[in-house]
Amino acid sequence: MLPAHSRRRAALPGRSNSSGALPAGTWTRLPKGVLYEPPPIVPFNAEGVLTVSAVPHTVAAFGGEATLQALAAAVAGAGFTAEGTFVVPTNEADALFEAVGALSASAVPHAVAQFTAAGILAALGVASASAGFTAVAALGASVTPTATAGFSGAGTLSAVASIFNPSSMTKSGTFSGLTSGFVPVTGWVADTTNYPGSSVSGSDLVVQSTGTGKTVSASVVWTASGAFARNVTMRLKNQTTGAILATGDPVSVPGNGSATATVTATGVSVTAGDLIRLEADGGNTTSRPTAQTNTNSYVRVT
């Protein structure tokens, strides 16, 4: 572009209708000072009106001698006003880093002082003091009179201690008299070794002492008399009073084997001299079991 107000004159060819090119001329670079450098582009949102001057390009077709005049378009700043929000992109991120350093801290050391010293330990004592006071009050008391009973007599003071002595007897000899129905089990001996004072009357155990809430029990080992199983049921009876104390459950004695039958009565009241009897029922069958000598077969009152 030509500088402002510059002109170039050149003679046209002889004919006015020539469309040949203009003679070669020179061109000049504009000084840098006249160039407008816009500021860096900053992204923003705005509304406004931008006004610029346009320079149209035209081709002039004519002939003859004339003067070519060109106007230079100066560079000008476009002034406008805009309203908008200036937006600057900002990236946020967590900074992850590692560092190696030395941590220094002030410390107050604790030290144990070891020393030896000689001196006098003095301690203040708290003296005991007697509180002296004077009080006036009325003392009331209930008097329980003591009476003296006058009598005289002569006699002997005696006390009777209630001690219960248990009794026991064990099986001695073979009993093979089981039948269909309860019958007395015979063949017993008093167990004076473990129960001193025990005695037997016939096949009954003699109660040594009178007492309430006592336990009467029996346990007998029965041995089969053949290859078939048989049942045995036992019961305890106070022969003196005729009371049935307890009846046990039937026990099956296996063929060619043995089994133990038991029966127990609790909370029983007995009197010294009562006779306790053991009875057994062998059921309606043959080849019934037998009871042989055995210290584990017993009748007891405890």
Query: For 236-252, what is each residue's pLDDT tens digit?
Result: 999 999 999 999 999 99
To the question of pTM greater than 0.85 for the whole model, the response is: no
Residues 6 or more apart whose CB falls under 8 angstroms from that of 278 comprise 184, 185, 203, 218, 220, 234, 235, 236, 237, 263, 299
Q: pLDDT at residue 140 above 50? A: yes
Q: pLDDT at residue 207 above 60? A: yes
Q: For residues 238 and 153, which has the higher predicted lDDT (pLDDT)?
A: 238
Task: Provide the residue ranges of all domains of the chain, joining segments of one domain with +.
Answer: 167-301
| Right CATH for 167-301 from 2.20.25.570, 3.90.1170.50, 1.10.1040.10, 2.60.120.40 | 2.60.120.40
For residue 168, what pLDDT band results from cuts at 50, 70 and 90? very high
In this structure, what DSSP letter does residue 256 have? T
Query: For 82-104, what is each residue's pLDDT tens digit?
Result: 465 544 444 444 534 354 655 45
The CA-based angle 55-56-58, given to 5 degrees, is 140
